[in-house]
Amino acid sequence: MSRLLHGIGVGTGSATGPVARMAPAPALPAPRPVTDPAAEAAAVREALRAVADDLDERAARATGPGAEVLSAQAVMAADPVLADRAAALAARGTDGAHALAEAFDGFRAALAGAGGYFAERTADLDDLRDRAVARLLGLPVPGLPDPGHPYVLVAEDLAPADTALLDPERVLALVTVRGGPTSHTAILAKALGLPAVVGCADAARLENGRAVLVHGADGVVEPDPGPDAVARAADAERRRRERLAGFRGPGRTADGHPVPLLVNLGAPHELAGAAAADAEGVGLFRTEFLFLDRTQAPDLAEQAAAYRQVFSAFAGRRVVVRTLDAGADKPLPFATRPDEENPALGVRGLRTAARDPQLLDTQLAAIAAAAEGGAAQVWVMAPMVSTPQEAAAFTARARAHGLPVAGAMIEVPAAALRADRLAEVCDFFSIGTNDLAQYTFAADRTLGPLAGLLDPWQPALLSLIATAARAAAGRGRPAGVCGEAAADPALALVLVGLGITSLSAAPAALPGVRAALAGHTLAECRELAELALLADDADDARRTVRSRLGEG
Ligand code: PEP
Ligand code: MG
């Protein structure tokens, strides 16, 4: 293995620690003849017991919402009916792995058939099956590792379900083999303020327990770092934190031009941290978490209760609610079709409302009900708007529900190119640079090998942002950025120079952005924006701007 491993850097800072790998789900081996059915049945019971004990122990140690999920899973694994069924199959001559798989499959079918809440738990059963089969076969148990000490998590990639269980007290940094700059792992790393390197192919060869130094900003993983390198990185990290702690309050440039700094919010367990953050509100409230892992949309009352919690946590501040963004990387059985050949180009985002208007109307009614009484300044916006007509229809529906401030996300190049027309019918824009990059470059945002195209410093992306910002300014409308681009301090300066009026990012990213703004005037931001637009490519833009800032 070469000395340094390279990938795509995410987040800021660095961290050192031992590797703990996330093991993949075990493949079921070919059936094998059973010579001692009684021993096979005992092994099956033992595997299930071990899984339940392990989950119980983890639940006792976990903090936050993960503890509840783990306890519920432990109860399922300890179900005597499940153990009896698997053991009976083994006693009749089915080998242990297949006996477990068959018993779980029976439960799974029953749960799926029950619909509603029960059907939503089938993914948990699949996870338990994989754990039990791995135990029985003596393979590494899949899922998040728990070595009993803080660690650097190394995984193929992280799914949204893994992220709920990730304990920020234990995980020092993230390294994934796959994933791009706007993948779930990258978004999670920023939300937790962890350094991460994604799309790092060589990480597949990092063994458990090996010490690594992870540099988030540079995308470098250093295996077996010497004491000097560790001390240098720790010192730089300490100085960085001290410097950032010196800046507080509303975002503004050195000459006082206000740039509201807002947080992105995407899961209930993020609410307390987001509300406590030094931020002027929520710039992107991703409402999908309420709908994910469901077979039916939550009703108006359930939605309103969830929105009300957020609005009261942000009383007096702005909350920009994005309506349901189903499809592509967020498929939902009741909103999107499973048979689309190109889901990223399919009926997703606002487009689902054309097929099922009730879904959007219920959500808007729930937001309006929760907003009543005015705890927060509630704005609503639609994802994946492509035409001025779509934007006009959305704002009209929002207003019909009594929601006066309605806007469009700019995530599709067509919307950016016709932003002057969109600005006539919207109160504001919020530019989703993750999807805008994906659609501008026809590059799947989840693919590591396409990270270069998805780089938010791409001048073509910056041109579209400039077009949208100019159109908004022409009609006196705000135009914020809520994609991952807003989390990069140097790029934030460029965005402000392009005419962006607010920036929304994970709470952990805001101090760096605030400090960068405080150090530069609006005129300097405009100069940096010019340089970036004139650059040959993303690397050139980043290098040129950083060297002008004295960082390169
Ligand atoms: C975006 O596309 O930039 C965005 C903010 O939305 P999401 O990442 O939720 O698709
Ligand atoms: Mg998007």
**What residue owns the CA closest to ligand 1's atom 1?**
432
499 three-state secondary structure: coil
Q: How many angstroms is it from 432 CA to the middle of ligand 1? A: 5
**Close Cβ partners of 410 (under 8 Å, ≥ 6 residues apart):** 385, 416, 419, 422, 429, 430, 431, 432, 436, 464, 468, 479
Residue nearest to atom 4 of ligand 1 (CA): 432
Binding site membership of 14 for ligand 1 (Cβ less than 6 Å): no
Q: What is the pLDDT of residue 112?
A: 73
More confident residue, 346 or 167: 346
Of 119, 134, 143, residue with least CA distance to 58? 143
pLDDT surpassing 90 at residue 249: yes
Phi-psi domain of 409 (left: phi exceeds 0; alpha: psi -120 through 50; beta: other): beta
* Range 5-23+145-243 classified under CATH 3.50.30.10: yes
Based on the residue annotation, tell me whether 482 is a catalytic residue of this protein: yes
The tokens of 333 are what? 């059985």
Ligand minimally distant from the alpha carbon of residue 187: 1
Is residue 467 within 6 Å of ligand 1 at its C-beta? no
* Alpha-carbon distances, residue 95 vs 91, 261, 280, 341 (angstroms): 9, 58, 59, 38
- The structural domains of the chain, with segments of one domain joined by +, span 5-23+145-243, 37-137, 256-548
**Ligand 2 centroid – CA 432 distance (Å):** 5
Which of 54-68, 135-149, 258-272, 464-478 is predicted least confidently?
54-68
Q: Where would I find the beta strands (DSSP E) of 194-280? A: 196-198, 211-215, 220-223, 261-265
Between the CA of 321 and the centroid of ligand 1 the distance, in Å, is 13
- Condensed to tens digits (0 to 9), the pLDDT of residues 451-469 reads 889 999 999 999 999 999 9
Which residue out of 291, 409, 412 has the highest number of ligand 1 atoms within 8 Å of its CB and is therefore the one to mutate? 409
369: amino acid identity, one letter: A
User: Which is more confidently placed, 367 or 445?
Assistant: 367
Ligand 1 atom with the smallest distance to the CA of 485 is: 3
For the domain made up of 37-137, the CATH class stated in words is mainly alpha
The alpha carbon of 143 and the centre of ligand 1 are apart by a number of angstroms equal to 26
Q: Is the CB of 455 under 6 A from ligand 1?
A: no
**Closest C-alpha to ligand 1, atom 10:** 435
Q: What CA–CA distance (Å, rounded) separates 192 from 215?
A: 15
Residue identified by tokens 């994802």 is 383
Single-letter amino acid, residue 523: A
CA quadruple 462, 421, 504, 302: dihedral sign: negative
| pLDDT tens-digit map of 276-327 | 999 999 999 999 989 987 889 999 999 999 999 999 999 999 999 999 999 8
Beta strands (DSSP E) in 30-160 are: 151-155
State both tokens at 341.
């050949």
The catalytic position among 184, 215, 401, 520 is 184
Residues with CB under 5 A from ligand 2 (ion): 411, 432, 435
Whose C-alpha lies nearest to ligand 1, atom 3? 432
DSSP state of 260: -
Which of the two residues, 424 and 267, has the higher pLDDT score? Answer: 424
Q: Report the pLDDT value the prediction gives residue 421, as an integer from 0 to 100.
A: 98
Residue 152, strand partner residues: 19, 173
Catalytic annotation present for 184: yes
Condensed to tens digits (0 to 9), the pLDDT of residues 313-325 reads: 999 999 999 999 9
pLDDT of residue 93: 95
* Per-chain mean pLDDT for the chain: 91
In this prediction, residue 117 carries a pLDDT of 56
pLDDT greater than 90 at residue 143: no
Half-sphere exposure of 246 (CA within 13 A, CB side): 9
- From the CB of 435, is ligand 1 less than 6 Å away? yes
Q: Is 433 in the pocket of ligand 1 (CB under 6 A)?
A: yes
**What does the alpha-carbon distance between residue 461 and residue 1 come to, in Å, rounded to a whole number?**
35
Is 434 close to ligand 1, i.e. is its CB under 6 Å away? yes
Q: List, for residues 413-429, the tens digit of each pLDDT value.
A: 999 999 999 999 999 99
Beta strand segments in 147-210, E: 151-155, 171-176, 196-198
User: Please, which pLDDT band fits residue 332 given cuts at 50, 70 and 90?
Assistant: confident
Q: Where are the beta strands (DSSP E) in 287-445?
A: 318-322, 377-382, 406-410, 428-431
Closest ligand 1 atom number to CA of residue 483: 3
Centroid of ligand 2 to alpha carbon of 176 (angstroms): 22
- The fourth-level CATH superfamily of domain 256-548 is Phosphoenolpyruvate-binding domains (3.20.20.60)
Tell me, what's the pLDDT at 417?
98
d(CA 544, CA 420): 30
- Please state the φ and ψ torsions of residue 265, each to the nearest 5 degrees: -130, 130
For residue 324, the 8-state DSSP code is: P
Q: Which of 200, 482, 520, 525 is catalytic?
A: 482
Average pLDDT, stretch 486-507? Answer: 96
Band of the pLDDT at 485, cuts 50, 70, 90?
A: very high
Beta carbon of 284 within 6 Å of any ligand 1 atom: yes
